[in-house]
Amino acid sequence: MTASAPHVSQVESLAHGSRREPTHAKQWHLKFLHAVEAHRSSLGEGVTVAVLDTGVDAHRDLSPNLLDGTDVIPGGAGDGRRDLNGHGTAMAGLIAASGQGGGAMGVAPRSKILPVLVTPASGSGEADALADGIEYALSNGAEIINISSVGGTSQRLIRAINMALAANVVIVASGGNRPEDSYVGYPASEPGVIAVGGVDKHGNHAAISVTGPQIDVVAPAVEIYSTGVNGGYRVGTGTSDATAIVAGAAALIRSKYPNLPAEEVAHRLTATAIDKGPPGRDDEYGYGVIDLVAALTADVPPLGFETPSVTTPPASAAEKDNDTARGLATLGVLLAAGGGYLVWRRRRRADDPPPRISR
């Protein structure tokens, strides 16, 4: 399995203590997403996010929120708190960096990070190692799993993902980066997983982000500052970063609404997303750019109870048959280990009017 880390030329390590050390002002995505306003409603407290990646360094901005975790790579140290690549540390920072002392701040700065080292420093791992990581996260109280990677699959990985979804865990995964990836990769393409694409500083589709019918939402993915190894910082571009940001958003929602099922957490993200591109869902933006404030404060009807914003004429018998078939296809029930779960991939019809205004 190959991690969807940004290209080498698009990742810059910033030494600890340098004049370029990031401040909140350099984390443009926080202002873009109105994180300060969102934090009045939730800080992610009480939520554990498993970061399945290259491990997580015990950076000073992360240490208040960093759990022990594990290393599932054969011959590893058995502790997830080491990172010889930097990718996992950056993802963890985007989710849960504390923001103390003027350092980096995560989208959910009081959530906890469960570091699970599933990918070696080379950035190329195995599907079954990712399955190991999912099983560990599920057994150790993770409510959200962040997978900022794409790659191959296996029957064991498919079973692990379905088991986690059936256990009410939110899984967020990156769609993939061009030019290495030409379509939405696995596990983002798995029904039930939140597939994430990217936008630039203007809120427009990021050139690096793949497109496809599986994309659910998009988030900032260009020149994203975060924590790095050896106490330093890192700026990178890719859907990996956007995915971690969405995982942080999910942590905010789960903290404020602790009894909300996983599919309803995803529904809040898509139902309140700011529509971009053609009206409704499209392959570049999915349902739109995540809106942290709206996701935490909007009155969102539960799945199956959405009210259309326009009055439609009575449907013909043929149209009713088509709608029924579409409903069965988009809200089908999959049987998983021990029970079933609702596939929420298509929470709104592609031709529904956008619920929010593009920006």
227 in Cβ contact with 61 (< 8 Å): yes
What's the Cα-to-Cα distance from 57 to each of 119, 214, 350, rounded to whole Å?
Answer: 14, 32, 41
DSSP 26: G
Q: Is 68 a catalytic residue?
A: no
For the chain, how far is it from start to end, CA to CA, in angstroms?
A: 36
Number of DSSP helices (H) and strands (E) in the chain, helices first? 9, 12
Single out the residue of 2, 9, 6 nearest to residue 221, CA to CA: 6
d(CA 276, CA 288): 5
Among residues 149, 189, 209, 240, the one annotated as catalytic is 240
CA separation for the pair 224, 152 (Å, rounded): 26
**Residue located via tokens 């971690």:** 244
d(CA 2, CA 274): 31
Q: What is the DSSP letter of 194?
A: E
Distance CA 142, CA 114 (A): 7
**Cβ neighbours of residue 299 closer than 8 Å, sequence gap 6 or more:** none
Task: Given the residues 87, 98, 174, 275, select the one marked as catalytic.
Answer: 87
Any catalytic annotation for residue 53?
Answer: yes
CA dist 88 and 130 (Å) reads: 14
Range 108-121 burial, b when 16+ CB lie within 10 A, else e? bbbbbbbbbbbbbe
**Rounded to an integer, what distance in angstroms lies between the CA atom of residue 260 and that of residue 268?**
10
Please list, in sequence order, all residues whose beta carbon lies within 8 angstroms of the beta carbon of residue 158, skipping any fewer than 6 positions away.
Answer: 190
Largest Cα–Cα distance in the chain? 69
Assess whether 9 carries a catalytic annotation. no
Active-site amino acid positions: 53, 87, 240
